Amino acid sequence: MHLEYNYRNQMKGFRWWLEMMVMVIILYIILWHLGYVYMEHWELYLFCAFMPYFLMLTVPMLILHIRYYLRNRGQVIDILDDRLILTERNGERKEYLFSEIDEVVLYRSRTIEPGGGFTMSPMDYYCYLKLEFKDFDEPPVYITCFMHPDLDKVTMELKGVGMSIRRNVFL
């Protein structure tokens, strides 16, 4: 399995934001059609009603998006039969045998379902895998949703002896 930073996966995180913008445009069209557009200061009322909710959900999403982007930008991970090959941004390659991995932890938000489904917040898409090694001198490897959209499939590819896989650990 070849994992690489992908712009398509990155844009899935912005789906919620785009849906919110479409909803605001539809609301504006409905208000205009009903004649409320000519009501004095209606834009201010609409702004004050939706802006706190929008900011409360958008700011954490942007923070997660930037952190995930910086974490996996330029990395390439190849998962072979018995090892994992990590290529860093600077071209440095590291090989890890599956027997060297101590634990694989899948971190995801509360409302996401393994088979997909309806999401309630913009943070539902953001999840990551943390690979911890038996050698504590080695830093953990992070695989974010920007590298592969279904991290459950990635955990199925990681088949190591003595490796524990924990799922549904919440952010």
pLDDT for 109 beyond 70: no
pLDDT in tens, 67-93: 888 888 888 888 888 888 888 888 889
pLDDT for 100 beyond 70: yes
* DSSP symbols for 64-85: HHHHHHHHHTT-EEEE-SSEEE
pTM: 0.71
Q: Please tell me which residue, 104 or 49, carries the higher pLDDT value.
A: 104
Structure confidence at residue 148 (pLDDT): 83
Secondary element (H or E) of residue 167: strand 164-170
pLDDT for 37 beyond 60: no
Tokens representing 115 are 């088979």
CB-based burial of residue 118 (10 Å sphere; 0-12 exposed, 13-18 middle, 19+ buried)? Answer: exposed
Domains delineated in the chain: 1-171 (2.30.29.30)
pLDDT for 108 beyond 70: yes
Quote the mean pLDDT of the chain: 76
Structure confidence at residue 127 (pLDDT): 82
Structure confidence at residue 101 (pLDDT): 84
What does the alpha-carbon distance between residue 89 and residue 76 come to, in Å, rounded to a whole number? 8
Structure confidence at residue 93 (pLDDT): 92
Secondary element (H or E) of residue 163: none
pLDDT, average across residues 11-35: 74
